[in-house]
Each structure stands twice: as C-alpha cells, then as structure tokens.
Amino acid sequence: MNHSHSYTLIFFILMASCLSACDNKGSSLELAAFKCDELSTQKQISECKEKKQQGREYYLSEATKLLLQDNRYESLDLLEKAIQLDPHSERVYFDKGLILASLGEANDAIAHFNKAITIKPEMADAYFHKALALTDLHKYQEAIKVLEKTVKIKPDHALAHYSLGVLLIDAQKTDAAHTSFINAYRVWENNLKDNPGFFIQQERIKQKYNKTRRYLQAIGYLNKKDYRIADNPDAEDKPIHLSNDKPEMDLPTDNLWKK
C-alpha cells in the first residue's frame, strides 16, 4: 500500500471514531495533527476540514460554558485544543486573548490578538483589546496608535473613541481628545435613536456615556442639562474621573478627566 492510500485509510478510521467523539465529547485530538490536504480527493479534504471545524466549534462552545462559571483556566485549555484543530480561526485566538488579559497576562494576550489580526486584519475588536492590554503595560503611545487604527477600521466603535479620548487627555492632546469624545458621544446618540433601551443591561457603558456627556457639557460642547438618561443629580458639580473597571476591560488609568 502506498503512502497516499495508507494516509487515506487512517483518515477514514479517524473519521469513524470522530463521528461520536468529536461531535459529542470533543475527545479525538488525533484529528488535529491530521493534514487534510494530503488526502486523495477533494471530497475527503473537504470532509476532513469540516470535521475539524466541528471540533473547533465544540471546544468554543464548551469554553464559553466554563467561562460562565468563571472557570477561566479550564476554558483556556479547551481553546488551546480548538487552536490545535483549527489554527486559522481568528475567533479562537481572540477569545483566548480576552481570557489571558482578564488574568493579567497582557503580553500573552497581545500575542493572541496579533494572531487574530494576522488572520483577519479588519477585526476591530482585536485591535481594541490589544490597545487595552498595551495600556495595562503602560505602553500608552502604542495604545493610542492601535486605538486610532481601531476607529479607522470601525468608525462607530464608541468604546474605542472613548478610550482614545482618555489616553489623549493623559498625553495632553486636548483638542484630539475632544474630537474622540465627541465621536463616542455621537455613536451612542445614534444607538439611542435606533434603540431607546440601548443601555438596558449595559450599565458600565451607560456610565461611560454619562461621563462623556458631562465632559462635553463642561467644555461647552453640549448644553448643561440633559435629562433623557437618569443620572445622579449632584454629578454635574463633581470632578469627572475614570473608574478602574478591570472586569469590563476598562483602561486602568485614573484621574484623567479635567473640567
């Protein structure tokens, strides 16, 4: 039996075992090392790649379930298995990067965001979270450049505009910061026009919207009072600061807001 035929035979054996294992338990990682492109026919190649994708989706699903239980390390293990099955999925690298960032592993998180970006250069969220990880490492100028790239790719990324404004104020680039806050505010306003309940179950984003609104009021861009969103009645007279909302991947920079 020549090499091609023996390789094809091994593939069918793996496929047979994977019909139960990959779909139900995700336990056949032998398939991860299998080179689909070395099979004999295009149909076999397609079936092999499809089976790997099914295994990847299984691990992604199970990793998400573990995350809901705050089992981040176990979730990382499953995402690594998903990468072994499909090393060309930007979503797997991105998800793993998010978990690594939440564990304080900023450098490893950045490496995974970079892999996601390499696979899908227009993935704005990968740039955004890379910028947040750079901020964790106090690499603020690099973070500014990455946030600028984020909003270039996705101009309606309100959180990227907001985060960019924060860093620009810290860099004493006030005019550019004002522009970023105005852009964030406009995106959120459009969201509210399309969906008046936009901030329901998004309390932290609502807080950023309110901070941005009060900041723009303080510099004279907006009228002083705007009662459309319930807010602390005393908030207008208090200093405006960023809160260190690490669970929401906020920028860990404090006391940057100035009236």
Residue 19 within a domain = no
Residue 51 within a domain = no
Residue 148 within a domain = yes
**What integer pLDDT is reported at residue 186 of this predicted model?**
96
Over 90: is that where the pLDDT of 44 sits?
A: no
Residue 192 CB contacts under 8 Å (≥ 6 apart), including other chains: 198, 199, 228
Measured distance CA(51)–CA(19) in Å, rounded: 9
Residue 241 CB contacts under 8 Å (≥ 6 apart), including other chains: 254, 255, 256, 257
**Domain count across the chain:** 1
Tell me, letter by letter, the H, E, C secondary structure of the chain: CCHHHHHHHHHHHHHHHHHHHHHHHCCCHHHHHCCHHHCCCHHHHHHHHHHHHHHHHHHHHHHHHHHHCCCHHHHHHHHHHHHHHCCCCHHHHHHHHHHHHHCCCHHHHHHHHHHHHHHCCCCHHHHHHHHHHHHHCCCHHHHHHHHHHHHHHCCCCHHHHHHHHHHHHHCCCHHHHHHHHHHHHHHHHHHHHHCCCCCCCCHHHHHHHHHHHHHHHHCCCCCCCCCCCCCCCCHHHCCCCCCCCHHHCCCCCCCCCCC
Is the full-model pTM beyond 0.75? no
Confidence band (pLDDT; 50, 70, 90) for 53? Answer: low
Over 50: is that where the pLDDT of 21 sits?
A: no
Residue 186 within a domain = yes
Residue 126 within a domain = no
Residue 184 within a domain = yes
Q: Comparing 51-60, 144-153, 228-237, 249-258, which segment has the lowest mean pLDDT?
A: 249-258
Domain extent at residue 238 = 134-259
**What integer pLDDT is reported at residue 226 of this predicted model?**
53
Residue 176 within a domain = yes
Residues 32, 21 contacting (CB under 8 angstroms): no
Residue 42 within a domain = no
Mean model confidence pLDDT for the chain: 76
**What integer pLDDT is reported at residue 50 of this predicted model?**
66
